[in-house]
Amino acid sequence: MDVEDQNLIKPDEIETNNTHKHFFQVDFIKAVMIFLVIFDHTIPWDPIKNELGVALWERISIPIFLVIMGFNMGLSFSKLEDKRLRKLYSWRYFKRKFWRYIYPFIILWLVSSLIGLVINGFDLDALNQYESNYWHFYHLFIGILPFWGPGNWFLPVIFWTILIMPLLYKGFSGKLIWRIVTLLLCYAIELSLQLALFNIFGPPPFPTWEAYFEFRYWFNFVFTTPFFMLSAIGLGMWFSKRPNLFAKQNFFIWILFLLSLYYLIQYQFFDFSYDFIRGDYNLFVFPYSAFLVLLGIKLLPNRWDNWFARAISKIGKSTYHILLTQILYFSVVYSVYGDHYGASILGINWSYNLTIYLYLIINWVICVSCGVFWHYIDSKLRDYYLFHKRYQPRKEEELV
């Protein structure tokens, strides 16, 4: 069965190997992670997050999303009978990805630009909010909005994966030796980019501001591609073959998990980092998150039929739309108050007292509920279109 022909299977949803049972565990994990994303964009680093050990529990949201991204696509592609590249890179594949990812982004771009202009008295400078007035028109084509909000950097990563996922799966769909080689290549590509940045620009501090800005330019470009985090996607695709924490082929993740945990403890509590590593998300932290995904699949129930489980599943399936919603929400907050940390649409708390947690709850309620509603409307419109398209030829035949 062609993956694009299954209306119930979407890029951000998951089915088990060949039984088509729904993985509630993954919905649950994704729902928790999107709450952590909003937490990350609300709660400031100093003095709160620096004291909470967030590298071990809060900063895992993006790595886990990357692992699940590879995991989902590995399972989806596995349902294809013909796994030749030209079948993986089918027109239906790109069409589905357009309506799933690009179309909501276009809606977000139009709505956010209009809102940005309205709340700033139609001052065009409002559409230059990205990275301290460093937005250019070409940024739009890689997924960076002019009316920028936190989390926007992850959209180019998602769009890039549309191009590389079929090729990546091709490597993981072969014999064990080719799967091993493909996973090692994921690590090699990621490590090569880290070493390239280090060899070109050296370790910080930079000798001049010009050198720093040149580094930031190239770092931002590389960081917003999946190649800089390819090992996380590769681990997820590897586990899609057999998502069992105790499977022999997954034994290596126990070793990598312990090494990753040690690195994160040193990084979080002792300010340790390698000179050649840039960014919080790198090959040394991903095994920790990948292990947690497998642990969640092992410990959480596969099916849980009650109102809570249904609500969690709705949130889990809506994470992309919630991400877009919180980008828009925090872009407005940032434009109005000059910062998104310690803030909600109702105000900003510069003293960072307990009010900040009230703002966090407000942000959760607004972003999650609006994102779920957007996903619901989007799904209904898509279902209506597919239904109409499916039965239109039959109606035309009846008229003849």
Answer yes or no: are the C-beta atoms of 312 and 28 closer than 8 Å: yes
> 3-state class of 274 per DSSP?
coil
Chain segment 19-29, per-residue pLDDT in tens: 444 689 999 99
pLDDT in the model for residue 304? 82
pLDDT band at 2 (very low <50, low <70, confident <90, very high): very low
Kind and range of the H or E element at 268? helix 252-270
Decide which of 121 and 236 is more confident. Answer: 236
pLDDT in the model for residue 128? 80
What end-to-end distance do the CA atoms of the chain give, in Å? 32
Range in 31-40, 114-123, 126-135 with the lowest mean pLDDT: 126-135
Chain segment 85-100, per-residue pLDDT in tens: 999 999 999 999 999 9
Chain segment 317-341, per-residue pLDDT in tens: 999 999 999 999 999 999 999 999 9
Q: Is the pLDDT of residue 1 over 50?
A: no
Q: Per mean pLDDT, which of 126-140, 171-185, 385-399 is the most reliable?
A: 171-185
pLDDT in the model for residue 82? 87
C-beta neighbour count of 117 within 10 angstroms: 15
Q: Is the pLDDT of residue 245 over 80?
A: yes
Answer yes or no: are the C-beta atoms of 126 and 335 closer than 8 Å: yes
pLDDT in the model for residue 348? 93
How far is Cα 132 from Cα 262, in angstroms, rounded to an integer?
36
Answer yes or no: are the C-beta atoms of 262 and 256 closer than 8 Å: no
pLDDT in the model for residue 142? 80
pLDDT band at 132 (very low <50, low <70, confident <90, very high): low
pLDDT band at 11 (very low <50, low <70, confident <90, very high): very low
Answer yes or no: are the C-beta atoms of 74 and 3 closer than 8 Å: no
pLDDT in the model for residue 7? 33
- Tokens describing residue 180: 């091993």
206-237: string of b/e by CB count within 10 Å (b at 16+)?
Answer: eeeeeeeeebeeebbebbbbbbbbbbbbbbbb
Range in 208-222, 306-320, 363-377 with the lowest mean pLDDT: 208-222
Average pLDDT, the chain: 89
pLDDT in the model for residue 12? 39
pLDDT in the model for residue 135? 63
How far is Cα 16 from Cα 277, in angstroms, rounded to an integer?
36
Chain segment 380-400, per-residue pLDDT in tens: 988 887 777 666 543 333 333
Decide which of 57 and 381 is more confident. Answer: 57
Answer yes or no: are the C-beta atoms of 24 and 304 closer than 8 Å: yes
* Percent of the chain whose predicted confidence (pLDDT) is above 70: 90
Q: Is the pLDDT of residue 124 over 50?
A: yes
- Mean pLDDT to the nearest integer, 73-84: 91
Decide which of 380 and 190 is more confident. Answer: 190
pLDDT band at 81 (very low <50, low <70, confident <90, very high): confident
Range in 30-39, 56-65, 118-127, 226-235 with the lowest mean pLDDT: 118-127
Domain boundaries in the chain? 3-399
How far is Cα 149 from Cα 67, in angstroms, rounded to an integer?
24
Chain segment 351-381, per-residue pLDDT in tens: 888 899 999 999 999 999 999 999 999 999 8
Kind and range of the H or E element at 348? strand 347-348
Range in 174-183, 216-225, 356-365 with the lowest mean pLDDT: 216-225
